[in-house]
Chain A
Amino acid sequence: MALKGNLHDFTITQLFNLVNLAGKTGMLVIETKAHNAQVFFKDGKLVQSHLDQDGQNNDLVTILLKAGKINADQAKLVRQRAATRTDKELALLLIGAGYSNQRDIVQAVKDRILESVYPLFAWTEGSFYFDSNQISPDEQITVMLNLENVIIEGTRRIKEWGQLKDDLPGLDWAVRFVDKPDVHLRNVQLTVEEWRVISFVSPKNTLRQIAAACKMDDLQLRKTVYRLLQAGLIEVMRPTAKPPILTPSPVMATGPSQPFVTPPPPKVDRGLLNRLIQKIKSIGE
């Protein structure tokens, strides 16, 4: 039977919990207006996933290249030799050429799966369905990842995301360099990502534009900007303050409005219950 619904009613955390507790096997498809994700499970474990996001190339060679496990020449050679660029074919070529080993490849697959799954925890709108007849495609390398750990880390990231959102509530804001930095700029060591963001810092550029220019997602950009803010290098140019939005109080009460003394269950004997049971059994006979 179908397991389908809407993320508004049933969150990713709840869905993963359900798959974990029920030990399900199959494919979970999540569709939002902007993105589409397929997550594969076996016996309640996460084995593979695919996130269709911004057309990024996330094949095995790209992942190993980004992780510094192979160099650009090796990546180019393997891609030229590969006919289909499936995980399994690329892995065989990489190992055959002596460019990589099984351990690095498995780790790369794990990292790719996790990095495609964690963003799902931030999705609050969209539909989902679970298809227990669909298993992970044969050409993909699968690993068995414990869902409990994924849920814990996903939830932690959501909390972190919430904090970052509080500090940088909108990507339509701009940032600028502070006039008199508190830090000795000579002592500041920036990462590659921070340098990329720094190069776009200007009152004319919104954070959204910087994210697009640096090809970063929201979370990556917020993390980077947050670090630069904490370092005292930049400051946010806040827009005109808006009046607070008043949220209505919950309409529905979740319990009795006044203290309620629990009445004892009615006293019935087994004879009475057996008469009821026999009567109901006989209905329609």
Chain B
Amino acid sequence: MQAVKMVITGPFSAGKTQFISTISEIKVVSTERSISDATRHVKKATTVAMDFGRISVDESLVLYMFGTPGQRRFDFMWEILSEGMLGFVVVVDSVRPETFREARSILDVFRSYAQTPYVVAANKQDKADAWEPEDLRIALGIDRKVKVLPCVATDRESVKTILLELLYSVLELTPD
């Protein structure tokens, strides 16, 4: 059995757990804890270690998805999670520009871990206040070569598109 891994990262409350839940064939193994600090108004619980989802291709191949902890005090986990990853998705909450700086910082850290392809998922595009993906690209200072894609993490087709685009990016860099 061969296993490959993708990492789903992004700032606190960006929608990483939802992203994995929407596409995973198993109930996401989530290590959520209730929140007792100032971030309580954003969400009730957050991922403290990692989320874990799976897509079985066949008997010999399985894709694992690891969601990184949302809060930076758990960033010691990132390095471990990023080892051997095929690529990563940076999920950004398009309606919370106050998290863009954090998203950029996370992106830089993951790029320093491994030179693997990545895509940016501009999540919550179904919300009226969502920034457009191209505006997000400029706000985050993301190169034109990198895909910044509209995303609604609750919508399976949307999540499929993100994963497929990441795989296409990996494919482009893989020799025949």
Q: Do A and B come from one complex?
A: yes
How far, in angstroms, from A274 to B172 measured CA to CA in the complex?
12
Q: CB-CB contacts of B125-151 with A at 8 A, as 1s and 0s?
A: 100111110110011000000000000
- Point out the residues of chain A lying under 8 angstroms from B170, CB to CB: 268, 273
**Closest Cβ–Cβ distance, residue A17 to chain B (whole Å):** 7
Asked whether any CB of chain A lies closer than 8 Å to the CB of B45, the reply is no
How far, in angstroms, from A158 to B113 measured CA to CA in the complex?
36
**Closest Cβ–Cβ distance, residue B112 to chain A (whole Å):** 6
User: A254-B108, A254-B109, A266-B4 are contacts. A283–B55 as well, Cβ < 8 Å?
Assistant: yes
How far, in angstroms, from A100 to B5 measured CA to CA in the complex?
71
Asked whether any CB of chain B lies closer than 8 Å to the CB of A96, the reply is no
Q: CB-CB contacts of A225-260 with B at 8 A, as 1s and 0s?
A: 000000000000000000000000001111110001
User: A9-B101, A273-B174 are contacts. A266–B164 as well, Cβ < 8 Å?
Assistant: no
Please tell me if the beta carbons of B164 and A281 are within 8 angstroms of each other in the complex: yes
Please tell me if the beta carbons of B130 and A2 are within 8 angstroms of each other in the complex: yes
**Closest Cβ–Cβ distance, residue A172 to chain B (whole Å):** 32
- Point out the residues of chain A lying under 8 angstroms from B97, CB to CB: 4-6, 9-10
Please tell me if the beta carbons of B109 and A256 are within 8 angstroms of each other in the complex: yes
Smallest CB-CB separation from A272: which chain B residue?
Answer: B61
- Point out the residues of chain A lying under 8 angstroms from B132, CB to CB: 1, 3
Please tell me if the beta carbons of A17 and B160 are within 8 angstroms of each other in the complex: no
- Point out the residues of chain B lying under 8 angstroms from A3, CB to CB: 131-132, 135
Please tell me if the beta carbons of B85 and A17 are within 8 angstroms of each other in the complex: no
Please tell me if the beta carbons of A266 and B157 are within 8 angstroms of each other in the complex: no
How far, in angstroms, from A40 to B61 measured CA to CA in the complex?
55
Asked whether any CB of chain B lies closer than 8 Å to the CB of A166, the reply is no
How far, in angstroms, from A255 to B79 measured CA to CA in the complex?
10
Smallest CB-CB separation from A278: which chain B residue?
Answer: B57
Asked whether any CB of chain B lies closer than 8 Å to the CB of A263, the reply is yes
How far, in angstroms, from A9 to B95 measured CA to CA in the complex?
12
Smallest CB-CB separation from B173: which chain A residue?
Answer: A265
Please tell me if the beta carbons of B135 and A254 are within 8 angstroms of each other in the complex: no
In this complex, how many residues of chain B approach chain A with their Cβ under 8 Å: the count is 51
Please tell me if the beta carbons of A272 and B4 are within 8 angstroms of each other in the complex: yes
- Point out the residues of chain B lying under 8 angstroms from A260, CB to CB: 79, 112-113
Cross-interface CB contact of A22 among B61, B134, B167, cutoff 8 Å: B134
- Point out the residues of chain B lying under 8 angstroms from A283, CB to CB: 23, 55, 156, 160
Cross-interface CB contact of A270 among B98, B109, B171, cutoff 8 Å: B171
Q: CB-CB contacts of B73-92 with A at 8 A, as 1s and 0s?
A: 00100010001111000000
Cross-interface CB contact of A284 among B98, B157, B164, B176, cutoff 8 Å: B157
Please tell me if the beta carbons of A268 and B4 are within 8 angstroms of each other in the complex: yes
Smallest CB-CB separation from B101: which chain A residue?
Answer: A9
How far, in angstroms, from A253 to B109 measured CA to CA in the complex?
10
Please tell me if the beta carbons of B174 and A270 are within 8 angstroms of each other in the complex: yes
- Point out the residues of chain A lying under 8 angstroms from B116, CB to CB: 265
Q: Which of A35-68 contact B (CB under 8 A)?
A: none
How far, in angstroms, from A79 to B85 measured CA to CA in the complex?
71
Cross-interface CB contact of B4 among A14, A251, A253, A276, cutoff 8 Å: A276
**Closest Cβ–Cβ distance, residue A136 to chain B (whole Å):** 21
Q: CB-CB contacts of B100-114 with A at 8 A, as 1s and 0s?
A: 111001001100111
- Point out the residues of chain A lying under 8 angstroms from B160, CB to CB: 280-281, 283-284
**Closest Cβ–Cβ distance, residue B141 to chain A (whole Å):** 9
Report the 7 A-B pairs with minimum CB-CB distance, sorted nearest first: A5-B97, A9-B98, A279-B57, A18-B138, A2-B129, A265-B116, A252-B72
A–B pairs, 26, beta carbons within 8 Å: A1-B125, A1-B128, A2-B130, A8-B98, A9-B98, A10-B97, A10-B100, A252-B72, A253-B75, A254-B108, A260-B79, A262-B113, A263-B114, A266-B86, A268-B86, A268-B170, A273-B170, A274-B171, A275-B58, A276-B57, A277-B167, A277-B171, A279-B58, A280-B160, A281-B160, A281-B164
